[in-house]
Chains A and B, each alone.
Chain A
Amino acid sequence: MGSSDPRSPSPRPTAPQTVRTVVTWGLVALVGAAALGRLALLRGETISAAWLLVAAIATWLVAYRFYARFIAARVFALDAMRATPAVRLADGHDFVPTNKWVVFGHHFAAIAGPGPLVGPTLAAQFGFLPGALWIVVGVVLGGAVQDFVILCASTRRDGRSLGQMAKDEIGPVAGVTALVAVLGIMVVLISVLALVVVNALKDSPWGTVTIALTIPIAMCMGLWLKYLRPDRVLEASVIGLVLLAGALWAGQWVSQHPTWAPIFTLTGPVLALAIMAYGFAASVMPVWLLLAPRDYLSAFVKIGVVIALAVGIVAVLPPLAMPPVTRFVDGTGPVFAGKVFPFVFITIACGAISGFHSLIASGTTPKLLARETDAPLVGYGAMLTEALVAIMALIAACVLSPGVYFAINAPVAAIGPTAASAAEAIRGWGFTLAPGEIEGLATAVGETSLLSRTGGAPSLAVGMAALFDRALGGGAMALWYHFAIMFEALFILTTLDAGTRVGRFMLQDLGGQLWPKFRDVTWAPATWIASACFVAMWGHFLYQGVTDPLGGINSLWPLFGMANQLLAAVALCVGTTVIVRMGRARYAWVTLVPLSWLLIVVFTAGWQKLFSADPRIGFLSHAARMDALHAAGTLPAGVTSLDALPRMAFNDRLDAAVAAFFMVSVVVIVADSLRTWWGVVRGGRPLASTEVPAQPVTAFAAGD
Chain B
Amino acid sequence: MRARLHALVRLVRTIIGVPDYDRYLRHMRAHHPECRVMSPSEFRESRLHARYSRPGSRCC
Q: Interface digits, B36-50 against A, CB 8 Å rule (1 contact, 0 not)? A: 000011011111111
Contact B24 A92 (CB under 8 A): yes
Contact A291 B56 (CB under 8 A): no
Within 6-20 of B, Cβ neighbours of A (below 8 Å) are at: 9, 11-20
CB of A702, distance to nearest CB on chain B (Å): 10
Most interface-central of B28, B45, B58 (chain A CB within 10 A): B58
Cα A483 to Cα B22 with chains together (Å)? 36
Chain A hits for B43, CB < 8 A: 93
* A106 is an interface residue with CB less than 8 A from chain B: yes
Contact B59 A356 (CB under 8 A): yes
Chain A hits for B48, CB < 8 A: 287-288, 291-292
* B54 is an interface residue with CB less than 8 A from chain A: yes
Cα A90 to Cα B27 with chains together (Å)? 8
* A552 is an interface residue with CB less than 8 A from chain B: no
Chain B hits for A498, CB < 8 A: 52, 57-58
Given known A90-B27, A106-B15, contact A182–B55 (CB-CB < 8 A)? yes
Chain B hits for A499, CB < 8 A: 58
Chain B hits for A291, CB < 8 A: 48, 52
* A91 is an interface residue with CB less than 8 A from chain B: yes
* A583 is an interface residue with CB less than 8 A from chain B: no
Cα A495 to Cα B57 with chains together (Å)? 9
Cα A295 to Cα B17 with chains together (Å)? 9
Chain A hits for B17, CB < 8 A: 106, 109-110, 295-296, 299, 364
Chain B hits for A494, CB < 8 A: 58
Q: List 23 A-B contacts (CB under 8 A).
A: A92-B25, A92-B26, A93-B24, A96-B23, A105-B15, A106-B16, A109-B17, A111-B59, A113-B58, A231-B44, A292-B48, A296-B17, A299-B15, A300-B16, A359-B56, A364-B17, A364-B57, A495-B58, A498-B52, A498-B57, A505-B54, A701-B31, A704-B27
* A501 is an interface residue with CB less than 8 A from chain B: yes
Q: Number of contact residues on A: which range applies? A: 35 or more
Give the residue name and chain of the A residue nearest to B17 (CB).
Answer: A106
CB of B36, distance to nearest CB on chain A (Å): 14
Cα A105 to Cα B14 with chains together (Å)? 9
Most interface-central of B19, B43, B59 (chain A CB within 10 A): B59
Most interface-central of B27, B28, B47, B49 (chain A CB within 10 A): B27
Chain B hits for A105, CB < 8 A: 14-15
Residues of A within 8 A of B (CB): 90-94, 96, 98, 102, 105-106, 109-115, 161, 182, 186, 189, 193, 230-231, 233-234, 287-288, 291-292, 295-296, 299-300, 350, 354, 356-357, 359-360, 362-364, 494-495, 498-499, 501-502, 505-506, 521, 564, 701, 703-704
Q: Which of B15, B40, B46, B56 contacts A161 (CB 8 A)?
A: B56
Q: Number of contact residues on B: which range applies? A: 35 or more
Chain B hits for A106, CB < 8 A: 14-17
Contact B60 A354 (CB under 8 A): yes
Contact B11 A102 (CB under 8 A): yes
Give the residue name and chain of the A residue nearest to B53 (CB).
Answer: A505
CB of B33, distance to nearest CB on chain A (Å): 13
Contact A363 B56 (CB under 8 A): yes
Chain A hits for B28, CB < 8 A: 92
Give 12 new A-B contacts, CB below 8 A, not counting A109-B17, A288-B44, A363-B55: A92-B25, A106-B16, A189-B60, A231-B21, A300-B16, A350-B60, A356-B60, A363-B57, A364-B51, A499-B58, A502-B53, A704-B26
Contact A113 B40 (CB under 8 A): no
Q: Which of B16, B45, B50 contacts A94 (CB 8 A)?
A: B50
Contact B24 A287 (CB under 8 A): no
Q: Which of B30, B45, B54 contacts A502 (CB 8 A)?
A: B54
Q: Which of B16, B52, B59 contacts A112 (CB 8 A)?
A: B59
Contact B60 A502 (CB under 8 A): no
CB of A509, distance to nearest CB on chain B (Å): 10
Cα A193 to Cα B58 with chains together (Å)? 13
CB of A628, distance to nearest CB on chain B (Å): 36
Give the residue name and chain of the B residue nearest to A110 (CB).
Answer: B59
